[in-house]
Amino acid sequence: MMGLKLKITVDQDAGFCFGVTRAISKAEELLAAGHQLYCLGQIVHNHAEVERLEKLGMQSFSHENIDSIKNKTVLIRSHGEPPETYQILQKNGNQIVEATCPIVAKLQEKVERSDSEGSFVMIFGKAEHPEVVGLTGRISGNYIVVKDLADVDYLSLPKSLTLYSQTTMDLDSLNQLRSKLEEEGIEVDFRDTVCRKVSNKKKHLESFAIENDVIIMVAGERSSNGKVLYEICKSKNSRSYKISQVDQVSPEWFKANDRVGITGATSTPTWQIQDVLEAVSKL
């Protein structure tokens, strides 16, 4: 049987961001040194990578089980955690390994400062996302989390506020929110805290999607960043597909001589992208 003779390009900007790379490197170092390592939550929103690290000996646990973790070595993943988490872990005699992304850590400090100055804080993001949970845990005053312009009740907001963003949100949407708030007569102290690894990727991915006939986005099912990046591809190329594991690749997506672009989220390991490349190359 003749192959499809696909022309495959791997996005050179795909794969782990700095914060995730740093957290995983710390985990690998500790495991290689023989430490019994526990991670609070998934170290990265990618099941395959979590599974790989667990085979090396890392154990994941949830916030629901935090009180049962005592006298262990616990890694704080790149998303960060609220102060309460540190207090519980320290009270139970755990050694904490700090792997919060430095960009997220600076954002935490800024949010804390705005709160201490008495500002009403608005966070553009997803309330249930671990990064946002880590941010809101630092606010003792008034705040609101919004993920969509349609969610905002402008009449209920104060006349002035400080606007922050979860680092993986879409920059254009953040700017639209800022403009809408100002149109409603609200004074906005705007803090652009979108990670440039994400926002700079938008134009690049738009071009990448147009240049190829088929796009495969490799991302964990729970990856917020993966969903954002996939939607960017889909908006420019209707033949875009999002998969979380290599066996989800379908031959039906391709035609002979198609140009195929393979990319991934900032939480997607390079080895997984390579696995997809090998699978597509065999078609």
Contact 79, 100 (CB under 8 A): yes
Rounded to 5°, the CA angle 57-59-65 comes to 165
Beta-carbon contacts of 104 under 8 Å, excluding residues fewer than 6 positions away, are: 19, 78, 79, 80, 131, 134, 167
Distance from C-alpha of 243 to C-alpha of 140, rounded to nearest angstrom? 40
How close are the terminal C-alpha atoms of the chain, in Å? 10
DSSP per-residue letters across 142-153:
-EEEESSGGG--
Residue 87, phi-psi category: left (phi > 0), alpha (psi -120 to 50), beta (remainder): alpha
Distance from C-alpha of 231 to C-alpha of 251, rounded to nearest angstrom? 22
49 is catalytic: no
DSSP per-residue letters across 188-221:
EEE-----HHHHTHHHHHHHHHHH-SEEEEE--T
- Cβ atoms within 10 Å of 120's Cβ, excluding its own: 20
Distance from C-alpha of 170 to C-alpha of 166, rounded to nearest angstrom? 9
Helix, strand, or coil (residue 3): coil
Distance from C-alpha of 46 to C-alpha of 273, rounded to nearest angstrom? 12
Residue from 112, 117, 128, 131 carrying the catalytic annotation: 131
**For residue 231, how many C-alpha atoms fall within 13 Å in the half-sphere facing its CB?**
8
Residues classed as catalytic = 131
